[in-house]
């Protein structure tokens, strides 16, 4: 399938999945390859035939929805964000947990891919000057079972670790053939769950939520606002929300104050709601 045909198909189909084309523009190669494979499976000649197939087979929209999951990630992606989390946000979380007698701060990584992001948090927690003996609970969710299976194996190519400080790589991973495998005690800090964020979120509230390069890149404006309300409901007052560095919070987001606008780190104001 030619790139122009794939672009034509995506521009037509994405709005019907509550997604937005601009989010896919630069990374469409991953989805286009998968759609091409799907056309071969179905014995269809091109994008136009697939559009007709979608019109005649409503169940196929679920398949296309899966094909639209972009899964790019790496450890400490946008390193400045993780430096700030390690320097200010996590130590504050630890201090507050101790003050309140709440032993275990809770963090949620939504759209965690193969574990790179929640494991980066685990590494930050382990290597920062924190409160000795204080653990943190990291729940990581993704709707792609294949990604979660890779997260469970926790072995990565060197390219996934390129933003990770060198001493951490040495302390936290063992090398097996061409891969770097995270040590079991760090793996144990993250609990993975298969959840589609549009339909369910982990129970309870969190002091820190990372929702990066998913909702605010790929979803349309209406779904973004709905998801922001859900995320706000899951955050404690004063809790921290981190979105992707190239993303924007949908308006109105008056309940969130930017802690570092350029790093897209926000604090939820006390006792407020973002929407209906």
Q: What is the C-alpha to C-alpha distance for residues 160 and 7, in angstroms, rounded to an integer?
A: 28
Stretch that binds ligand SAM, among 1-9, 36-44, 70-78, 201-209 (CB under 6 A): 70-78
Stretch that binds ligand SAM, among 48-56, 72-80, 181-189, 224-232 (CB under 6 A): 72-80
Tell me whether residue 73 or residue 207 sits nearer to ligand SAM (CB atom): 73
| 65: its two tokens | 């929805």
The site string for ligand SAM over 112-131 (x = CB under 6 A, - otherwise) reads -x---x--------------
Q: What is the C-alpha to C-alpha distance for residues 235 and 4, in angstroms, rounded to an integer?
A: 42
Q: What is the C-alpha to C-alpha distance for residues 88 and 32, in angstroms, rounded to an integer?
A: 40
Residue 202 is classified by DSSP as -
Closest separation between CB of residue 82 and ligand SAM, Å?
Answer: 11
How many CA atoms within 13 Å lie on the side-chain side of 112?
33
Stretch that binds ligand SAM, among 30-38, 63-71, 95-103, 130-138 (CB under 6 A): 63-71
Closest separation between CB of residue 72 and ligand SAM, Å?
Answer: 5
Closest separation between CB of residue 181 and ligand SAM, Å?
Answer: 19
- Long-range contacts for 96-102 (Cβ within 8 Å, ≥24 apart)? 96/207, 96/238, 97/131, 97/134, 97/207, 98/131, 98/134
Q: Which residue is nearest to ligand SAM (CB)?
A: 111
151 touches ligand SAM (CB under 6 A)? no
């Amino acid at each position: 399938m030619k790139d122009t045909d794939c672009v034509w198909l995506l521009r037509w189909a994405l709005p019907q999945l509550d997604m937005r084309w601009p989010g896919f523009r630069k990374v469409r190669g991953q989805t286009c390859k998968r759609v091409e494979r799907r056309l071969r499976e179905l014995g269809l000649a091109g994008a136009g035939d697939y559009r007709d197939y979608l019109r005649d087979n409503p169940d196929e929209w679920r398949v296309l929805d899966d094909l639209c999951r972009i899964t790019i990630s790496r450890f400490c992606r946008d390193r400045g964000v993780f430096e700030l989390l390690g320097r200010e946000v996590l130590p504050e979380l630890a201090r507050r947990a101790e003050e309140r007698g709440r032993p275990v701060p809770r963090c949620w990584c939504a759209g965690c891919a193969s574990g790179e992001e929640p494991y980066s948090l685990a590494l930050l927690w382990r290597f920062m000057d924190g409160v000795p003996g204080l653990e943190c609970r990291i729940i990581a969710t993704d709707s792609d079972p294949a990604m979660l299976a890779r997260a469970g194996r926790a072995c990565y190519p060197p390219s996934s670790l390129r933003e990770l400080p060198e001493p951490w790589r040495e302390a936290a991973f063992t090398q097996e053939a061409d891969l770097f495998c995270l040590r079991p005690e760090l793996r144990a800090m993250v609990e993975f769950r298969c959840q589609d964020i549009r339909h369910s979120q982990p129970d309870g509230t969190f002091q820190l939520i990372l929702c990066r390069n998913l909702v605010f890149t790929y979803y349309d404006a209406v779904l973004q606002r709905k998801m922001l309300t859900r995320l706000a409901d899951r955050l404690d007052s004063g809790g921290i929300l981190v979105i992707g560095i190239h993303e924007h919070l949908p308006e109105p987001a008056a309940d969130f104050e930017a802690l570092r606008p350029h790093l897209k780190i926000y604090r939820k104001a006390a006792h407020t709601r973002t929407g209906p």
